[in-house]
Amino acid sequence: MKKIFFVLITEIKNRVLRPAFWIFTLGLPVVAFLIMWGFTSASGDSQESILNMIAPSQNVETWGLIDDSGVITEFPADLEESGVFLEVYPDTESAEAALEREEITEYYYFPADLIESGEYYLVTPDFNPLDGTSNNWAIDWVLTFNMVGGDKLLASQVQYPMFENRISLSPDEPATDGDNPLAFAVPYGITIFFYMMIFSSASMMLNSISKEKQNQVIEVLLLSVTPHQLLVGKIVALGLIGMAQTGIYIGIAQVLLKLSGRSFDVAASFSIPSNLIVWGVVFFLLGYSIYASLMAGAGALAPNAREASQLTFIFIIPLIIPLFFITVLIENPNGLLAVIVSMIPFSAPVAMMTRLAAGNIPLWHPILSAVIMAVTAYLIIILVARLFRAQTLLSGQEVKPATYFKLLFSH
Amino acid sequence: MQAKFWFVALNEYRKHVFQKRFILAIISVPALLSVSFLVGFLTEYLTRNLDPVGYVDQAGVLADNNPVPEEVGNSNKVEFLAFEDQETAEQALEAGEIQAYYLIPTTYFETREVDLIYIKEPGDNAESDFFHFLRTNVSGDLPERERMLVLDGFDVTVRSVDGSREFNEKQIFNLILPIVFGFLFTFVLTSGSGYLSNAVTEEKENRTIEILSTSMSANQFILGKVLGIVMVIFTQVISWIIFFVIAFFGARAAFDAEWIDAAQIDFNLLLILLLLFIPAFFFFSGIALTISSMVTDSSEGQQAIGIVSMPVGFSYWFAYLIISNPGSTVSVILSLIPFTLPTLMPLRLAFGVVPWVQIALGIGIMTLCAFFTIWLAARAYEMGMMQYGKRIRLRELLWNSTKGGGKK
């Protein structure tokens, strides 16, 4: 235990006393904030000129319309209230002259066979294929309004026939707010954040081991401590550093946002389960222990850091799988696929956090998943510790994924 | 002269193409696309529920029970069952006969509000199918053609004022093509960083370079190497293009989709893309050879190539900016910098009108830079031969090259 503590303290000291660690930990959020602050506090004129370089502003918001079909007889009264101004022109010459005078930004052309062909044109000086989709709702509204003979009530029913109130009869599954973008964005953000946390902390382990192997310090270390003590000490130390780093990022972001008079209160508009932070710590520690041990094994086997990092791709695949199915996991957190991927210990740390953030799931699911992960982490630490034998560390041969797993289970 | 650089080129080509690693790189793109397609299909399959959906219509809006036309919505539609009252609907829900039911209250015509009642979350498809079902019945009194247009929507063709660019559903490939070219370019650079960095260091490490230098000039050697590498890249890209063409015709045969049948390709755009990408490949091969000639071991070279190709990957950070404002000053500048040009100019071509002057300038910049890097690679190779085992600094290389290295 004393030796584990010794390894732990040495590893923390080695990391924390490096200027690069503080530059990265404190510098990154500060630089991001300074860029944001610099831009938002720039004077009105300079801000406008920067914005103009990035995205030229448009002063005129009126669109032209040439209607050769005769379908349009009047515009709905609420069109201008929604910020859409349409100016009718008799022909393309006059519409193009208005474009040149910058009285309109673009114009629509309804050909004589509009109803038969079902096709109209949008003519724009800054051609962008996506323009055809961005303004569609207003033009569709004008067309629908005129096709139903100017009956606004009927037109609105035809255009958008229902507003849905979702009522769940299940006590375990409260109704989701399908219209709230945060219902998707929050679990999505938490998933990505979690993936990055585990991956970056586990990568620190890979660098640490492969560096010590390359400069041969590890051989000296293994004379004084057992591989198991070395591995546990390093895992705990780097896990604590990873968590502290994340805490510092969140803390700095909060303080800087407060200082600048802003706030980011997701909880106000979206309910995050209160126990999510507790589960977050549990699944981070377990997920990190599994991946950091695997990375440590890669570091011990590969002759250099570059070859070790090639091996990590294989390990990371199970962690990426939940990201592929993120939509399914968020929309159906209690579905079969969601349950399976959150019980497999290699994909569980990310998948279970997505499910926990997405909705109510039975309590025994995260508990069982955590137990499976704890057992897996324990077994992997024992197996990987065996890889730290002198001949494995000294071999220097090229390491393939198959060799890695063969060595892992051969002892 | 000719035979010698061809010999180097063919040797370089053979060395890489008949390797397991290269075959894996070729297969990786179709494999990656197949996995993405499979994931998309599985996601769609898992969020879909084809069980019937009930409704209790207190407003009488669904009295005619008009079915949704074939052309509207997806082909696997959910069945809708009418219930007299909420009680019977709830019984059916509890018995698992329906996945959910809608309650359309008497106030529907004023508010358009409906209740969706369920025990387990219904499938996304059920909600969108009911939306179409309600819409079909609300618009029941319209003439047939108008009703179809209301339900299915109009086709929009976006056209530039001068008529030089036009976009509608049929031209979807003109939008996809430049993006695919950009992605392939990035993929070639990342997957090929290994053989790019080894281009000269391998010969240096095994001392073959000493024999080679006695038989041919630096220009011949570097030209042969560049050609060999570009041929390797072309083999990779052409294999992927063949895969895309097969996949396209396969999709056309398998899915009877109208837009695939009507798809058109703008051959002018294709030509511009080729004129941009061919020098871009030579440019990056030239850089790789320069670095490879400057360093002493391949791992050092790989790191340096990683740094040089970083702007290519980072350029995608600006993708949103380019797509939303392809004509802004920042977009124009970014699309003319040689390191970001291969990925960002195609995006501008897809999402905007790029003046001919800027296209010509882009091709010109890329071609000049390609010649420059190949020339620089030859100079680096010469210097490397004279300073065996010592890493050459960039400043040193540029200084010596401009002073008199270009004579050979």
Lowest mean per-residue pLDDT among A386-400, B318-332, B380-394: A386-400
Highest mean pLDDT among B194-203, B296-305, B362-371: B362-371
Q: Do B302 and A306 touch (CB under 8 A)?
A: yes
**A346 touches A374 (CB < 8 A):** no
| A157, A289, B229, B374 from B223: Cα distances, Å | 69, 51, 10, 7
Q: Do B124 and A325 touch (CB under 8 A)?
A: no
Q: Please tell me whether residue B143 adopts helix, strand or coil conformation.
A: coil
Regarding predicted confidence, which is higher, A176 or B362?
Answer: B362
B90 touches chain A (CB under 8 A): yes
d(CA B140, CA B153): 16
d(CA B134, CA B102): 11
Find the mean pLDDT for residues B73-92: 87
From the list A119, A124, A161, the residue facing B112 with the nearest CB is A161
Q: Which amino acid is at A312?
A: T
Residue labelled with tokens 């090639």: A310
Q: What is the pLDDT of residues B105-163, one digit of tens each?
A: 999 988 999 999 998 888 878 888 999 999 999 988 888 888 888 888 888 888 888 88
- What's the CA dihedral at B365, B371, B374, B377 to 10 degrees? -80
Give contacts of A105 with chain B, Cβ < 8 Å: none
**B270 touches B180 (CB < 8 A):** no
Fill in the DSSP letter of residue B76.
S
Residue B109: Cβ within 10 Å count: 15
3-state secondary structure chain A: CHHHHHHHHHHHHHHHCCHHHHHHHHHHHHHHHHHHHHHHHCCHHHHHHHHHHHCCCCCCCEEEEEECCCCCCCCCCCCCCCCCEEEECCCHHHHHHHHHCCCCCEEEEECCCHHHHCEEEEEECCCCCCHHHHCHHHHHHHHHHHHCCCCHHHHHHHHCCCEEEEEECCCCCCCCCCCCCHHHHHHHHHHHHHHHHHHHHHHHHHHHHHHHHHCCHHHHHHHHCCHHHHHHHHHHHHHHHHHHHHHHHHHHHHHHHHHCCCCCCHHHHCCCCCCHHHHHHHHHHHHHHHHHHHHHHHHHHCCCHHHHHHHHHHHHHHHHHHHHCHHHHHHCCCCHHHHHHHHCCCCHHHHHHHHHHHCCCCCHHHHHHHHHHHHHHHHHHHHHHHHCCHHHHHCCCCCCHHHHHHHHHHC
Helices (H), B51-143: 86-94, 108-111, 124-138
**B259 touches B170 (CB < 8 A):** yes
Cα of B400 to nearest chain A Cα, Å: 33
From the list B150, B154, B330, the residue facing A158 with the nearest CB is B150
Residue B274: Cβ within 10 Å count: 11
d(CA B160, CA A31): 41
DSSP H or E segment with residue B118: strand B113-118
Give contacts of B42 with chain A, Cβ < 8 Å: 325, 328
d(CA B260, CA B241): 17
Residue B351: Cβ within 10 Å count: 26
Per-residue pLDDT of chain A (411 residues; tens, 9 = 90+): 778 888 888 888 888 887 777 877 777 777 767 766 665 555 555 556 555 555 555 544 688 999 999 989 988 888 877 778 889 999 999 999 998 888 888 899 999 999 999 899 999 887 777 776 666 778 888 999 999 888 888 899 888 899 999 888 876 665 555 555 666 777 777 778 778 888 887 888 887 887 777 777 777 777 788 888 888 888 888 888 888 888 887 787 777 767 665 555 555 555 556 677 788 888 888 988 898 888 888 887 777 666 676 677 777 888 888 888 888 888 778 888 888 889 999 989 888 888 888 877 888 999 999 999 999 999 988 888 877 765 566 566 666 667 777 766 765
pLDDT at res. B254: 74
pTM for this predicted structure: 0.66
DSSP letters along B261-314, please? HH----HHHHHHHHHHHHHHHHHHHHHHHHHHHH-SSHHHHHHHHHHHHHHHHH
Beta strands B166-167 and B155-160 are: antiparallel
- Nearest chain B Cα to A145, which residue? B150
Q: Do B124 and A169 touch (CB under 8 A)?
A: no
Radius of gyration of chain B (CA): 30
pLDDT at res. A60: 43
**A284 touches A198 (CB < 8 A):** yes
Picking from A373, A381, A375, A380, the residue whose alpha carbon sits closest to that of residue A351 is A373
- What's the CA dihedral at B368, B372, B373, B374 to 10 degrees? 100
ipTM for the whole complex: 0.72
Q: Do A132 and B330 touch (CB under 8 A)?
A: no
Q: Please tell me whether residue B54 adopts helix, strand or coil conformation.
A: strand
Six token digits for residue B150: 């209301």
Q: Do A55 and B351 touch (CB under 8 A)?
A: no
B21: exposed, middle or buried (C-beta count within 10 Å: 0-12, 13-18, 19+)? exposed
